[in-house]
Amino acid sequence: MRSDPAEFELVAPGSLPAVLSLLAEQPGTWLPIAGGTDVMVLYAAGKLPAGKLVSLWNLPELRRFDVSAREVRIGAAATYTDIRNHAVIGKDFPLLSTAAAWTGSIANQNRGTLGGNIVNASPAADSLPALLVYDADLILTSVRGERRVSYNSFHVSYKKTILAPDELVLSVCLPRRFDGYFAHTRKVGARNAQAISKVCIAALARPNNGIVEDVRIALGSVAPVPLRMSQTEAVIKESALDGATAKRARLAAIEEVRPIDDIRSTVAYRKAVSGNLVEEFLTRMAASPTKA
């Protein structure tokens, strides 16, 4: 059953300080809403519990991109269209640019925001594995000030994060230090577009003379949170870039993931696909004419 609009209050203070003041005065009472692509699904299904919504849409502090020699900062309310169209993101962080192109329809990409995807905390979100492998940091803000945290520590369990009730994600920080890495991403879903992932992968590696010097792999839809594959990475790192390593990595990935059966897929399928995606990543890197 659809929610009753009379049971909800929506305010748009129009400035970031005003939003933060509202959250500080009544922590946990107001639900921040940016593009609304996740919130409106719950609203339409009659499952949105919050009665008070505060709009973050078009706040300039949350939409900006700051590019320096060291890092790129993406405002939390930057849309997927903003990310797709940003030249530096496309060049330095192709995994994120591709994930933005996978997210929903064009209409969803025009409204959906990176910060909303992060705070919604779905383990099936397409953009989150890319943030893990790029070693993203988050800037969190409140009336108490700002704090910088590693994105790797942000998700603590299914749909649970370290974000305090009076905080917002201000920006996402990506270090510009992955030049020369081989990048690979793949989404497995029921359709080529507008599908929630059964499994998705984002992966980077730096080979040197046939040895994998550094590797970073993350998967979505295989655990309660987006999963950095540290055990699988340990099998690959400092190993030869060959078929034997790829097969060992596939088996390690199958053991490391923690999927569930749900309406989109099964544990057995997700485990098999996870292993295949890791093996495919290494096989494609070995065959790449640009590998070091």
What's the pLDDT score for residue 4?
A: 79
Q: Among residues 215, 72, 218, 73, which one has the least CA distance to residue 132? A: 218
Torsion of CA 173, 29, 162, 224, to 10 degrees: -100
pTM, whole model, 2 decimals? 0.94
Grade residue 192 by pLDDT with cuts at 50, 70 and 90. low
Per-residue pLDDT tens for 203-251? Answer: 999 999 999 999 999 999 999 999 999 999 999 999 999 999 999 999 9
Report d(CA 240, CA 177) in Å as an integer: 23
Which whole number is the average pLDDT over 247-268? 95
What's the pLDDT score for residue 292?
A: 46
The yes-or-no verdict on residue 109 having pLDDT over 80 is yes
Contact partners, residue 281, CB within 8 Å, separation at least 6:
184, 186, 201, 203, 205, 217
Domains of the chain: 5-55 (3.30.43), 60-175 (3.30.465.10), 182-287 (3.30.390.50)
